[in-house]
Structure 1
Amino acid sequence: MSTSTTRRIRGSRRRRSFDLRATAVYFALLALLLVVLGFVVRAAGAVAERRPVWTAVLCLVAASAAVLALRGRRRRHLAERAAQQAAAALQEATRTALDALEAPAEECPRSRVPTVDGMPADDRAPVDYEALDPDGFEQAVAALCERDGCSSVEVVGGAGDLGADVVAVDPQGRRVIVQCKRYGDGNRVGSQELQRFGGTCFTVHEADVAAVVTTSEFTAPAVEYAAQCGIVCVDGQALRAWSEGTGPTPWSLGHQTPTAP
């Protein structure tokens, strides 16, 4: 009689099935959260100086989202719901922060004195343009253009500017080229300076409206030449009226079809 040895077969452990769909959803939500976090950090940096309270709120929300993401490896389903809620909160906070950035520009009245060198001017006193250096004067004129509805305002003055110090687009969509002359009393803008500007403002810079803005005055020949060419002359008195909101803007006086010199 033979004795057979019975081999005991151990039951294999049942492996946990891999859920591809749940894993894909988890990583998609995590990627979305990272994109939103990057956008919020960029927006928060822009408002950090003017809106410190919002900056603190965004940092707290971002920290909470990061903690929830780390815990997601153990509690996946809870982390998915928390990530969705955090993403919604971050989007809402981003919209609020962007609204806060846009609010000052929408509430700026037309008669407000422009900002010079990043410092707000007193609304009750006009800017002393003669006290500015040439670069500061160009910045101040650009601020006036932006204040009164111009878009794409740029300060391009410098070596090789060919007479263009400020470039802008007025509310009617016309291209505005401005040359800035910060002169003291007794130093008037002459016809030769107007002629040099007239030779480039329309042909080179393709201006629809060309203007020369000065803190001083223009000579009679300069005014005559400007009238023939369609160049707007803004002297110190007209500049103060423009700045205070009691005078016209240069583009409202601009000639549509200038006469060739």
Structure 2
Amino acid sequence: MAARKRRRSVARKRREQRLKVSLIGGAGILALLVVFWQMVWPYLVSGLVVGGAAVGGWWLWRTNRLVKGRDHQWRQEEAVKAGHRSLTEVDAMLGGEFEDFVVDLCRRNGCTEVRRVGGTHDDGADVLGCLPDGRSMVIQCKRYSPKSRVSSPEVRNLLGAQVHFKTDVAIFVTTTYFTGPAEQTAVQNGMIAVHRDHLGLWNNGASILSFSQVNGSGQGDRRHRARWKETYE
């Protein structure tokens, strides 16, 4: 008990000594401030102003970053929702609606300067823009019945549009499939042929650039669809 009391007494004395030193130090600093106030106050005010500006700037930067992050997340979620339509819904679209749908998919993939140009005098182009890698593109959109087929002359028309608009890449997007000769013409001329199976994958999140890897490898066949799923997953 005696030893414990001595330890408590020593600890209390140490606390009292630290408190005295703190009070003396504080009083000394206060005295110096009073004596040298004319010299010190500009620095104190400047420090407070700079510190306040730094804190305010950090708060504004953090708030702006949070707002932008939430806005980007919202836009991304809305873009995915807009893109996730069933092919049955796509089949029911009008021609102009299908072109707008393709424009939305392109923008979701990060394509830039994407605009719809389809119309009576479209010179064989429905959509113009730039791919995510910077190459210019021209797109022809054909919303056909799944039982129909895109023919070779239609593919050649798009090649003519590519020459007319001087783009790097031509892309043919359809809700159906290409005839064998049409697909061969597209592949031989470096065109990306996006048939119905590709469109379904694009709608579900695949990138437009990824189709160049399987371009001309078949269409409308379960074996090919399984291969494409392995490629994109």
User: TM-score w.r.t. structure 1 length?
Assistant: 0.51
1:186 aligns with 2:186: no
Query: Which residue is equivalent to 1:115?
Result: 82
Q: CA deviation at 1:104?
A: 3.7
Query: Which residue is equivalent to 1:204?
Result: 164
CA separation in 2, counterparts of 1:135 and 1:214?
13
8 Å Cα contact 2:194-2:211 kept in structure 1:
no
CA separation in 2, counterparts of 1:176 and 1:107?
28
Change (3 A) 1:143 1:247: closer
1:168 aligns with 2:135: no
Q: How does 1:87-236 map to 2 (within 5 A)?
A: 103-109=70-76, 113=80, 115=82, 128-201=89-162, 203-236=163-196
Residue by residue, what CA displacement relative to the aligned partner does 1:40-80 show, whole Å, maximum 9, x if unpaired?
xxxxxxxxxxxxxxxxxxxxxxxxxxxxxxxxxxxxxxxxx
Change (3 A) 1:110 1:216: farther
Residue by residue, what CA displacement relative to the aligned partner does 1:172-223 show, whole Å, maximum 9, x if unpaired?
111011100000022110001111111221x211111111000000000101
Q: CA deviation at 1:143?
A: 0.1
Residue by residue, what CA displacement relative to the aligned partner does 1:120-167 show, whole Å, maximum 9, x if unpaired?
xxx586672111100000000000000010111101100111111111
Higher helix proportion, which one? 2
Q: CA deviation at 1:250?
A: 6.4
Q: CA deviation at 1:169?
A: 1.1
- Aligned residue pair count: 155
Match of 1:177, SS state, is strand
CA RMSD of aligned residues (A): 3.4
Greater radius of gyration (CA): 2
Structure 2 unaligned spans of 5+: 1-62, 216-233
CA separation in 2, counterparts of 1:188 and 1:104?
41
Q: Which amino acid aligns with 1:229?
A: N
Structure 1 unaligned spans of 5+: 1-95, 117-122, 256-261
CA separation in 1, counterparts of 2:79 and 2:88?
11
What is the aligned-residue identity percentage? 34
